[in-house]
């Protein structure tokens, strides 16, 4: 599958490498020249802008974003929503607030662009071990993107968890349990 990846920090960069290792074609964008160069050296196709990234993908396009929650996610989704035509898909793999993910999904749907919110766990170890992925949104979009989830996750490490917002909601619950356990251990 050919996919776009926006955000090449520790997780986005490693996810790109994992996708490449599993045989996917990845077009990447990050504001950092160094991050784009590193991804290019790993085998990805660097794009100098979001416009170039979108035009480098064949319809129906799938673009995964791994950017910090909040204003950067809002801006990235807004820009991509203006660039991508009806039938395209955006996957938000960051730790966005689940309520905002519902609003983002509704806003993008008015333009005919689908959104999957994907709680992503695995940190820097995900490159070798895989990422646990909790995906919310329209089921038919999950099914379309499933080869990507399969490549990123270890066996049995991803799940469709329900409608829009559910992926980031499950990730929030995951964090609550994880940090509660860590606190009790300490």
Give the residue numbers marked as catalytic. Answer: 171, 178
Q: Are 76 and 49 in contact (CB under 8 A)?
A: no
Q: What share of the chain is helix, strand, coil (3-state, %, to 5)?
A: 50, 20, 30
Helix (H, G, I), strand (E, B) or coil at 64: strand
Q: Which two tokens stand for residue 61?
A: 């396009």
Do 89 and 61 contact (CB within 8 A), yes or no?
yes
Contacts of 93 (CB under 8 A, 6+ apart): 11, 12, 15, 64, 65, 66, 118, 120, 133
Measured in degrees and rounded to the nearest 5, phi and psi for residue 92 equal: -95, 105
Q: What is the DSSP string of 106-133?
A: HHHHTTT-EEEEEEEE-GGGHHHH--EE
Q: Provide the β-strand partners of residue 5.
A: 28, 64
Rounded (10°) angle between helices 98-109 and 166-185: 160
């Amino acid at each position: 599958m050919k996919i776009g990846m926006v955000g090449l920090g520790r997780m986005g960069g490693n996810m790109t490498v994992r996708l490449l290792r599993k045989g996917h074609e990845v077009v990447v964008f990050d504001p950092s020249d160094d991050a784009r160069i590193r991804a290019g050296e790993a085998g990805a196709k660097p794009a100098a802008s979001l416009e170039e990234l979108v035009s480098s993908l064949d319809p129906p396009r799938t673009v995964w974003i791994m950017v910090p929650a909040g204003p950067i996610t809002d801006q990235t989704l807004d820009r991509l929503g203006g660039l991508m035509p009806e039938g395209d898909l955006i996957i938000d793999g960051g730790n966005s607030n689940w309520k905002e993910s519902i609003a983002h999904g509704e806003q993008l749907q008015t333009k005919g662009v689908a959104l999957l919110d994907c709680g992503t766990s695995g940190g820097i170890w995900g490159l070798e071990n895989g990422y646990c992925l909790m995906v919310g949104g329209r089921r038919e979009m999950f099914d379309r993107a499933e080869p990507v989830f399969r490549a990123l996750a270890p066996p049995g490490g991803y799940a469709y968890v329900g409608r829009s917002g559910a992926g980031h909601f499950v990730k929030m619950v995951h964090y609550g349990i994880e940090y509660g356990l860590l606190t009790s251990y300490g």
